[in-house]
Structure formats: structure tokens, C-alpha cells
Amino acid sequence: MASLPAPDPSDQPDWNLRHIVDELRLSREVRHKIRYLDRIRELPSREVLTNVLTGLSAALFPTHYGQASLTDETIDYFVGHTLSRTLDLLVEQVRRALYFSEPPDALDEAELRRKAIGITRQFAAQLPAIRAVLVSDLHAAYQGDPAATNISEILLSYPGVKAITCHRIAHAIHQLGAPFCARLIADIAHSATGIDIHPAARIGSSFFIDHGTGVVIGETTVIGERVRLYQAVTLGAKRFPVDDNGVLAKGIPRHPIVEDDVVIYAGATVLGRVTIGHGSTIGGNVWLTHSVPPDSNISQAKMLEE
């Protein structure tokens, strides 16, 4: 068998890496510096947080997201072991995230670790309540979708359920004081489902997103109980106010309030701090920028008539 010819050095590419590496360092350190507080930080890990979501889901619904073979004798052991491992992962991610939300003079390592443990402990204590509201979401999906045959099907195959599960977890972590960590969890869910829910959004029980792809729910949105959304619904901001210096104002209420028992059909866009009164129905592809009273029925045709 003939041997392959030796590579010709003249054919090997020269990437000029020394110059490129030097220029990238100048960009990072001098020309285009974006480093938070001018310090290198340990960033939260999307990979680890994905594992945290997997572990928490398994602890909340062990036979669906954990091990189908669990028995009455083994299920509590599995839940305890899974939670212990998962919470250990979570506390480190919370600690890293706190670097970006705590005041600069509060960056003592030991204190951040203590605070991260406290946040994680409070979050763990909320898991039974989180599961309770998720069960209400599952029943809302079963009752709201004629194609649903059982709860297990919904748990295992509905992207809206995956998105709201992640949101319930992210919202609790956000409210406890680790918004960066919560935002990463929300984006992991967005990547997996196509549903974008800001972790600060407040969503009541028995919530159902049918189909789901393209749904956007903004930061200051408030959603009541027994609300149903369909695909490509946007609950967004109409405008973005600035302060006297022209800097974008952050955190002000700018997204809709959706009261109890509202249905919003596919493609509808609701913008601004408007209120959708309880019991209302918003038709598909409606563009709505004003409040509507309770029990309204808004469709494209009605909007054109007005």
C-alpha cells in the first residue's frame, strides 16, 4: 500500500493568530470593554442551569420526568436524593448570579455564599406551592384542549407546560433576589419551546398556552387566573420612556394586565399598560393598544367598525 505524501508546509494556512489575539485583547481590555464593574467574574452556566431544571422537574413530577419505574418504597428516596443534588447545583449558580445584582460594596465572598444559600433554601421551601399551581395549569390544559387525552400526555409533550414549569421556577428565583439566574432559566425555556416569558411576569393559576410557538410575555405583565393564550400572542410594551438624560427607564409598568378568565387567540398583539377585563375574548390577529371592559369580545371586524 502506497504511503501518503508528506504535507507541504507551503500549503498550510497561516492565520496570523498572534496579531488577532493581541487585537482581541485590546478590544476586551481597552477599546470595547463591557466587563461588569471592570472585573472578571464567574458567570452562571447555562449547562448547569439546564441540569437544575431537569432535576427540579424530576422532583416535582418524579415518574414523568424522573424514573417511570419508581415505586411507593423508592419514590421519596429518589425525590430527596434528586433535590439534594439539584439544590447544591443551584446554590452555586445563584452565588455567581448575585455578583451582577448586589451593590459593589456587598461583594464579600462569604456573605454572597450565605445569601445564595438563603435564597436557595427559601426557593426549596416553595416547591410544594409551585407544584400545586403547576397542577392547576395541567388541569387547565386538559380542560382547554379537546385534543388532550390525559395528564401524562400533557406533561410529556406540551411545550406550553414546559414553558410555564420553567417560568414558575424562574419567577420564584427572580422574586427571591437572583434575577440574572432567573433570566437564564427563562431563556433556556425559550430556546426549548419558542415561548418567551420574562421571569418577572406575574401569572395566576390555571394558566394554559395552547400550541405556544411565538408567544411573548413581557417583564411587567400581570395575568390573572384561568387565562388561555394561543400561539404567537404578544403581551408587550407600546413605547419605551426615557428619563431627563435620555436614558431608557427600566422597571416601570409598561405591559398589559390580563384579568381572570380571558382568552387571547392566535396572533393577537396587546401593547402597553392596558387592562383586558375579566371574561373577555380577544380574537386572532387583533392589534390592541387600549383597555377593554369585562366580558368584551374583540375581533378584527369589530376593530375595523370602530
Q: What is the pTM of this model?
A: 0.89
For 106-118, b where at least 16 C-beta lie within 10 A, e where not — what string? eeeeeebeebbee
Mean pLDDT, the chain, integer:
92
Query: Reduced to 3 states, what is the DSSP secondary structure of residue 282?
Result: strand
Look at residue 37 in the predicted model and tell me its pLDDT.
Answer: 64
Return the minimum-mean-pLDDT range out of 25-29, 33-37, 271-275.
33-37
Spatial separation of the C-alpha atoms in residues 219 and 66, rounded to whole Å: 31
Domains, in order of start, for the chain: 43-194 (1.10.3130.10), 214-306 (2.160.10.10)
Tens of pLDDT, residue by residue over 107-164, are 688 889 999 999 999 999 999 999 999 999 999 999 999 999 999 999 999 999 999 9
Q: How would you list the strands of the sheet with 222-223, edge to edge?
A: 202-203, 222-223, 257-258, 275-276
| Cell matching residue 298 | 374583540
pLDDT of 74-112, one tens digit each?
Answer: 999 999 999 999 999 999 999 999 988 877 666 688 889
What is the Cα–Cα distance from 101 to 183, expressed in whole angstroms? 12
- Which residues of 158-233 form beta strands (DSSP E)? 196-197, 202-203, 208-209, 216-217, 222-223, 228-229
